[in-house]
Each structure stands twice: as structure tokens, then as C-alpha cells.
Amino acid sequence: MLICVYCGKECKNDNSLRNHQRLCKNNPNRQSTPFHNLDFQKNKLGEGGENQYTKAKRLGLPAPTVSESTRLKLSNASSSRTKEWNAENGKRISKTVKRKVEEGTWHTSLARHMHIDYNGVDLHGTWELGYAKFLDKNNIKWIKNKDSFAYIYEGKERRYTPDFYLIESDQYIEIKGYKTDKDEAKWSQFPKHRKLTVLMKKDLKELKIL
């Protein structure tokens, strides 16, 4: 379940949640759009920010009809724009993912901004949520881990905090979508006397979490 941190609204997917939170009226840093400007609404939609459809609804009149030829033109134009947008958006996403993988920030950078409250625990992303539910279903005692461990990457000392800690087995769990060189450094330098298990997408599928 994806919940807006500002108003509590449920969203269907990650993209829907991001867009909603960006424009949420309870977000103190809400992003403004032209449609929030009354002068813009009046210029584009007429006095009072109305168009022919909203005006008809307000007055209790039948909705304006659209001819079949106009519907066909609108449909073709929309389809063309959608194909172009999908192609261009796909390129942007691919470029962003490639850059994040090279930087070593893929998955964690995205999940860091996804907050899901699960029984009072702040989880990052739907994969963590699925794993938490799996643990509860199988009566495995766990906590959201806060222990961090030092490691060296690119000549700098950094801190690594696995996602979960399993109490009875004294084991740390990392939920990971894509392995990078930075991850290899974290895992290879993890204290030898501590247990760490990394669960990738295929592992979560085997557990029927995804």
C-alpha cells in the first residue's frame, strides 16, 4: 500500500504517489502549476475558471456533445502524442537508470524517498513492505535495522546500514534491486563475525514476495 505522507491518500503505484505528493495541498513545499493561478484559469477556461463542461454541470444542463469526427481526431492526436511521449520518456528513464547505476545510487536513491508506514515502522519501498509481511506471516521476529558498519569505498570511509535485523537468528538482511561496485565494497567488508544475507529480486520471487 502506497500512502501519501502529507494527507494519507492511497495511491495505486510509485509514479502516482510521487506525482500526488509533489502537488498535494498539504505538502508545505507543494509544486505550483499554472492551473493553481486564477488568472491562468480565467484566460484558459473563461471567467471563474469554467469551461463548457463544468459550466453545464454547474447549471444542471446536459453535457455538450462531441461529433464522431471530432472524437476521432482527438483520439488520433492523443495516440500520436502518447507514442511520442512514451518513446521519449523511455529514453529519459533509461538514461537516468544508467547514470544511477554508474553512481552506485540505483534502488537505494529511489527507495529512500518512498516511505510506507507498516504497523508504525517506516519502510522504504514496496519490496521492504513485502518482506516485512512475509516475516510476520512466518512468525519471524524482526526489527527495522539501525546498526551501521564502516567500509571503505573510493578512498573514503562510509557507513552501511542493512535493511532488517532478524532477532532470533542474529542476522542482517539487505533488500537489493541492483548490485553495484559500491554494494560489493559494503558486503565484502562486512564484519566476518556478523551474518548478512542479501535478497535480490529473484530471491524475493522465490519466496513469493514479488
Confirm whether pTM is higher than 0.85: no
Q: Which residues of 169-180 are buried (b: 16+ CB within 10 A; e: fewer)?
A: eebbbbbbeeeb
Tell me, what's the pLDDT at 37? 56
Which residues partner with 2 through β-bridges? 11
Closest CA to 210 of 128, 111, 119: 128
| Four-point Cα dihedral 132, 133, 136, 141, nearest 10 | 0
- In 97-193, where do the E strands start and end? 115-118, 121-124, 142-144, 149-153, 156-160, 164-166, 171-175
Q: b or e along 131-168 (b: 16 or more beta carbons within 10 Å of the residue's beta carbon)?
A: bbeebeeeeeebeeeeeebebebeeeeeebebbbbbee
Q: What is the pLDDT of residue 109?
A: 47
The CATH architecture of the domain made up of 108-206 is 3-Layer(aba) Sandwich (3.40)
The overall longest dimension of the chain from CA atoms, in Å, is 75
pLDDT lower than 70: segments of the chain? 1, 32-54, 66, 74, 77-90, 93-94, 96-113
> For residue 203, what pLDDT is reported?
94
Residue 64: the pLDDT is: 73
Whole-number CA gyration radius for the chain: 24
Question: Strand pairing of 164-166 and 156-160?
Answer: unpaired
Matching residue, cell 472524437: 71
d(CA 40, CA 44): 6
- Whether residue 1 contacts residue 13, with contact meaning beta carbons closer than 8 Å, is answered with no
